A and B are shown apart, each in its own frame.
Chain A
Amino acid sequence: MIPVVQCMGLTKTYGGKLALNQIYLNLEPGKIIGLLGPNGSGKTTLIKIMNGLLKPTAGEILIGGHRPGIETKYRISYLPERTYLNPGLKVIEMVQYFQDFYPDFRTERAFDMLQRLQIPPNERLKNLSKGTKEKVQLILVMSRDADLYVLDEPIAGVDPASRDYILHTIVSNYNRNATILLSTHLISDVENILDEVVFIKYGNIILQAPAEQIRQREGKSIDRFFREVFAC
């Protein structure tokens, strides 16, 4: 089986500063994987390289056997850690935008989620709160039938009450054969949905293991284990 993501000696430096240090990583399909690490550990850099937004300094990354390009963009549904929608457009226009560009976009699913979250489709994005904008982005991203969902800090900007709904939205709306790569530093909120975890520290992958295995081996929650590993 071809790994959904393959990193081979992947390295990224920013003006001499090392962000990713010769990473070797394989992610298998059909799993929810947590990419866990403190701020500045290289999570977002790795995700941006997957999506072709950054070019690696050395090494290679393959998505379903392909280098980042048009082919991989059809397969990846990406939620960045920032607001990337044109604020002048209405929610409904962004739905049409995604429908126009992504053949795997499911419009009915998007409207269903908008309705459940009581987000008015005719409202302009600039009139929505930051949290609601993030929910709109998540709805758009999860309304695709992608092979790989890459979610960069999907719950960082929303209130704790909304986090459960968002996680529920993620788990209940993805294609079961697909992989979800979820980056966060809010471990306790996501740990129950994870099949596998990847710990990243100072640009190095220091652990990749099934979530249940870690809990059994360490005799503690992943959140607690994370705090010990990344203790300052």
Chain B
Amino acid sequence: MLGKLMKYEWKATWKLLLPMNLFIVVMSLFSYATIQMSFFDSDNAVVILTGTFIIMAYILSLVVVSIVTMIFLVYRAYKSVYGDEGYLLHTLPVDKHHIIIAKSVVSLAWVLINILLIYLSIVFVLSTQMEFMKNVFDGFNTYIELVNDYADIGAFDVIMTLIAGFVALIAKILKFGACISLGQLSSNHKVLASFGFYYGIYFIQNIFNMMYLVVMELMVDTTVSTATMSASAGVASTWAFDLIANLIYCVVFYIATWYVMEKKLNLE
């Protein structure tokens, strides 16, 4: 049943999200062409203005598409689980775990597609400026070397940081699901209650982050002889904290969503 739920979730989302994300590709091509055709070197003010407009529209499209993708996924989750379509979803002979997993996996897939497209698009457009790209890479290498003077950051740290980021993304998606679900516990103003839970959880997460920083500050040994070791430990503890905290968030948000769906469902 999980596969079927994912299939229909994909069907319900791709019609809007695919064209929107393809729009990024189109805008990237336009921007690439604009720079390649030296619009900005022209003597004609109209050509320069057109080029400026295209580049601005391109940057705006990156921002707008990623925001709309997220808003659409949240709206879709609300509508299909607790709106009219929920009457069908919750009368299907399927496990609530499968519903949560199917929706989360498809949402995660769209967010990843969106992030990947934006990265590729930026690299593609900037590839017109090889000198600039070279400077960026040189700057990045210098930064890594500087950091490595104080901390021994290996491939393991980079991989773990990426994994921590991936888990943070899952936690973010589950957080939206949990807030929508917890909002349903309110007899009136369910949407308002969902926003309340979102900001409440955001506040609590910030407190945890601050507590971590304070603890780190107290623990870091600032003596010169142990500076390298401390910085290395700092990097490791940062991804370790992110990873552990987000894994805990994932479990908490998942259980909260499941609890409301399984034990407290009230489609009024």
Contact = CB atoms under 8 A, between A and B. Distances in A.
Interface stretch (A82-90, A114-122, A154-162): A82-90
B76 to A, nearest CB: 10
Nearest to B263: A55
A55 B264 contact: yes
B84 A82 contact: yes
Interface stretch (A20-28, A96-104, A178-186, A199-207): A96-104
B44 interface: no
B263 A102 contact: no
Interface string B3-40: 01001100110010000000000000000000000000
A70 B265 contact: no
A76 interface: yes
Contacts of B7: 100
Interface string B71-96: 00000000010001111101111110
Given A74-B93, A100-B4, A54 B265 contact: yes
A93 interface: yes
A112 B164 CA distance: 54
Interface string B240-268: 00000000000000000000000111111
A52 B265 contact: yes
A53 B267 contact: yes
A86 B11 CA distance: 10
Contacts of A89: 11-12
Contact of A52 (B1, B88, B91): B91
Given A70-B94, A100-B4, A101-B4, A48 B85 contact: no
A218 to B, nearest CB: 35
Given A82-B84, A86-B85, A97 B8 contact: yes
A219 interface: no
Given A48-B267, A54-B266, A101-B4, A73 B91 contact: yes
Given A15-B188, A52-B265, A85 B88 contact: yes
A34 interface: no
Contacts of A29: none
B225 interface: no
A174 interface: no
Given A86-B12, A100-B4, A53 B91 contact: yes
Interface string A39-77: 000000000100111110000000000000011011010
A222 B174 CA distance: 52
Nearest to A137: B88
B135 interface: no
A140 to B, nearest CB: 9
B187 interface: yes
A209 B120 CA distance: 70
Contacts of B187: 14-15
A54 B268 CA distance: 8
A37 interface: no
A89 B9 CA distance: 12
Contact of A73 (B93, B265, B267): B93
A85 B116 CA distance: 32
Contact of B92 (A15, A80, A101): A101
A149 interface: no
Nearest to A97: B8
Interface of B: 1, 4, 7-8, 11-12, 15, 80, 84-88, 90-95, 187-188, 263-268
Interface of A: 14-15, 48, 51-55, 70-71, 73-74, 76, 78, 80, 82-86, 88-89, 93, 97, 100-102
18 contacts: A52-B91, A53-B87, A53-B265, A53-B266, A54-B267, A55-B263, A55-B264, A70-B95, A73-B93, A84-B84, A85-B85, A86-B80, A86-B85, A88-B12, A88-B15, A89-B12, A97-B8, A100-B8
Given A15-B187, A80-B87, 17 more contacts: A51-B91, A53-B87, A55-B264, A70-B95, A73-B93, A84-B84, A84-B85, A84-B88, A85-B88, A86-B80, A88-B12, A89-B12, A97-B8, A100-B4, A101-B1, A101-B4, A102-B93
